[in-house]
């Protein structure tokens, strides 16, 4: 079914505006759901909402917001979304990017319907992870293996409680969720071994969207992104570029040593070399938006010119917390700087996570989608493509030799490039470079992102 013409927005393509028609997505929602039906401060009826806490470890509970698909929730896919930015609440994206309701940022007190929300085709879970972030409670764990184990526990316990949604399950995530999601997927496949079909988690695939999977590869590319990354303008001088390259080399060398042996001394040096370098500080000094090279941002941490302060104000309203099953006295914080620092300081932050993807495609039929925006500073698209081509699996050479082709939503509108390969055992591997998109692809290029995810789940990429 096609989109109503009234909800088709414009799409940024190579930093210019072109109209797009999405041909395979559903209408926004049935007419009888218009209006605020049910006692909820959000823009949709409580009928569609499940929210609360899931215990994931000793004394550790993750808060979740689950929104049913508007049409066929007990047969549509279920997407578990991880925000990924360390220390940042997952509810920020729920209220500003891909959720059913968008916060009115001019007032911070009301929400309105997001015509490009993900619930038109999927059930979606938003999670505050790890503990200490958002509404989640308990002791914070900072190492990637334990975070992955807790997310596995969350997934298992959630579907024990809501088994009707355990079908065609996907993990979608951005930024540092790329370090965690591959390990979560692997642990779930291990959990499924020897279990009957009804007791397995029906994990089908994962989508990594501007995701960090290798610190050493990412940092090596950042100076070039700031200096020469069309269509974005040049942001630094040649002298600054040379200095960034020298510091990037130091970071990459220590991160490589840390990645190889996980020796504490090497990992400590990697943390110091990477986090304290001009690679982070210089873009802020010259007001580069770390999430979109085309934009200037003087309001850097923690929001990077995004309306997350208003999200915090809204979620601290007593009536909102009560409607979400949260103690009204609980103080919601959109960002926890200590959690952020601790995550970035942990040795596992510097370990590559992409190497285990190949065995899951070969042995478990995993469907893998990797999406990169061409204007992101923090996750350079060329690096994303490079690590994906280095994933070892039985058809790796075939994927390397597959050509990139234009990705179109119709015969005339090109939204990016795609490399697609159908694998054995039902697996897929797909790389998509989206034009005119920064780090927050789902926000800056909402329609092509949703179209891409829909193509992926339905396996209908026009290639």
Mean pLDDT of the chain: 86
pTM given for the model = 0.89
User: What pLDDT was estimated at residue 296?
Assistant: 78
Q: Is 265 exposed, middle or buried (0-12, 13-18, 19+ CB in 10 A)?
A: exposed
How many whole angstroms separate alpha carbon 440 and alpha carbon 296? 15
User: What pLDDT was estimated at residue 299?
Assistant: 65
Binning pLDDT at 50, 70 and 90, where does residue 231 land? Answer: confident
How many whole angstroms separate alpha carbon 230 and alpha carbon 57? 46
The residue to which tokens 């075939």 are assigned? 398
User: H or E element: which one contains 452?
Assistant: helix 446-458
How many whole angstroms separate alpha carbon 416 and alpha carbon 329? 46
CA distances from 316 to 305, 332, 333, 346 (A): 21, 6, 9, 31
The residue to which tokens 């020897």 are assigned? 194
| Domains in the chain: ranges and CATH | 5-215+350-458 (3.40.50.1820)
How many whole angstroms separate alpha carbon 220 and alpha carbon 248? 6
Encode pLDDT of 290-300 as tens digits: 778 887 776 66
Q: Are strands 414-422 and 16-19 parallel, antiparallel or unpaired?
A: unpaired
Binning pLDDT at 50, 70 and 90, where does residue 262 land? Answer: low
How many whole angstroms separate alpha carbon 383 and alpha carbon 216? 10
In terms of pLDDT, which residue wins out, 156 or 97? 156
Look at residue 108 and tell me whether its pLDDT is greater than 80.
no
Look at residue 137 and tell me whether its pLDDT is greater than 60.
yes
User: What pLDDT was estimated at residue 438?
Assistant: 79
Look at residue 258 and tell me whether its pLDDT is greater than 90.
no
């Amino acid at each position: 079914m096609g989109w109503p013409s009234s909800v088709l927005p414009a799409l940024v393509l190579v930093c210019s505006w072109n109209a797009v028609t999405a041909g395979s997505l559903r209408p926004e929602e049935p007419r009888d759901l218009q209006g605020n039906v049910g006692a909820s401060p959000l823009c949709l009826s409580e009928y569609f909402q499940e929210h609360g806490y899931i215990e994931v470890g000793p004394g550790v509970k993750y808060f979740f917001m689950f929104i049913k698909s508007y049409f066929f929730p007990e047969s549509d896919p279920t997407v578990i979304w991880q925000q990924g930015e360390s220390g940042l609440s997952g509810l920020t994206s729920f209220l500003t990017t891909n959720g059913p309701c968008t916060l009115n940022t001019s007032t911070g007190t009301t929400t309105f319907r997001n015509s490009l929300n993900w619930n038109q085709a999927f059930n979606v879970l938003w999670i505050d992870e790890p503990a200490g972030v958002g509404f989640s409670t308990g002791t914070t764990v900072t190492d990637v293996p334990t975070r992955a184990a807790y997310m596995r526990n969350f997934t298992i316990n959630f579907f024990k409680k809501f088994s009707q949604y355990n079908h065609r399950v996907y993990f979608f995530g951005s930024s540092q969720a790329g370090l965690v999601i591959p390990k979560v997927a692997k642990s779930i496949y291990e959990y499924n071994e020897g279990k009957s079909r009804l007791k397995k988690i029906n994990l089908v695939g994962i989508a990594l969207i501007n995701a960090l999977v290798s610190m050493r590869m990412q940092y090596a590319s950042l100076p070039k992104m700031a200096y020469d990354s069309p269509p974005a303008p040049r942001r630094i001088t040649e002298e600054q570029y040379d200095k960034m390259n020298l510091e990037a080399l130091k970071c990459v060398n220590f991160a490589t040593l840390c990645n190889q042996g996980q020796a504490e001394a090497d990992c400590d040096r990697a943390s110091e070399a990477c986090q304290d370098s001009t690679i982070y500080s210089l873009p802020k000094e010259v007001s580069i938006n770390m999430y979109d090279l085309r934009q200037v941002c003087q309001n850097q941490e923690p929001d990077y010119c995004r309306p997350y302060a208003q999200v915090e104000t809204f979620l601290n309203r007593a009536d909102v917390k009560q409607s979400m099953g949260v103690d009204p006295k609980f103080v919601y914080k959109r960002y926890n700087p200590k959690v952020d620092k601790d995550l970035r300081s942990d040795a596992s932050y510097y370990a590559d996570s992409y190497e285990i993807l190949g065995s899951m495609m070969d042995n478990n039929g995993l469907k893998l989608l990797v999406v990169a925006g061409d204007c992101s500073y923090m996750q350079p698209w060329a690096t994303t493509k490079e690590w994906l081509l280095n994933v070892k699996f039985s058809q790796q050479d075939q994927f390397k030799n597959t050509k990139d082709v234009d990705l179109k939503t119709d015969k005339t509108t090109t939204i990016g490039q795609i490399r697609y390969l159908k694998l054995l055992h039902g697996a897929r591997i797909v790389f998509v470079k989206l034009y005119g998109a920064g780090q927050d692809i789902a926000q800056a290029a909402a329609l092509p992102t949703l179209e891409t995810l829909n193509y992926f789940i339905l396996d209908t990429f026009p290639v």
